[in-house]
A and B are shown apart, each in its own frame.
Chain A
């Protein structure tokens, strides 16, 4: 069955960096576009970034452009999010999600919590 498992979250100081990973299984990862989406505590969903199946198309939300970098390794069935210059407002649960139809997601991971605090 389809599984997406995020890892790499944790506590980091403002200005610090963190790299999130999303391990995919149960489907042909290289066939699917993927996204990162986050949810601050008690708040709504916020889309962050999108990468095409062959990583030649990438988009970012304005809130993370220039600070976050999405990438993927199809040989390792993995999606990544490199997060730099982290701020308190980046504190959230981060989800990876598989695109089912254009910009619509049928499978989500369980999320990994990132806390930015001194």
Chain B
């Protein structure tokens, strides 16, 4: 199972919005609602930001939103803040009853 494809890096200025894409296939992202997004700061464990494509766990800022179209899922960060600077990973359940993560995206706040 190949990793889902994410851009290596995305940057934006404080207050701006950015979007991170996560492209898979009909056997993973396109076929299931079990797509999630994780934020990881250096040296820390990942934190769940979005589950089931577009749902935010309690405590996660509403500046984070998720969506999906076909085989591509997206994470949008609105009103970018310095603390949003981190690595972001998508993940999806697959038709092989496994989980695949994305390649990861480094978000830089300029």
Contact = CB atoms under 8 A, between A and B. Distances in A.
Interface in A91-118: 95, 100-106, 108-111
A106 B101 CA distance: 15
A110 to B, nearest CB: 6
B66 to A, nearest CB: 12
B52 A101 contact: yes
B38 A45 contact: yes
B51 A104 contact: yes
A102 B10 CA distance: 29
B101 A47 contact: yes
Interface residues of A, number: 21
Interface of A: 35, 44-47, 50, 59, 61-62, 95, 100-106, 108-111
15 contacts: A44-B104, A45-B89, A45-B104, A47-B100, A95-B46, A100-B51, A100-B57, A101-B34, A103-B92, A103-B93, A104-B36, A105-B36, A105-B46, A105-B48, A108-B46
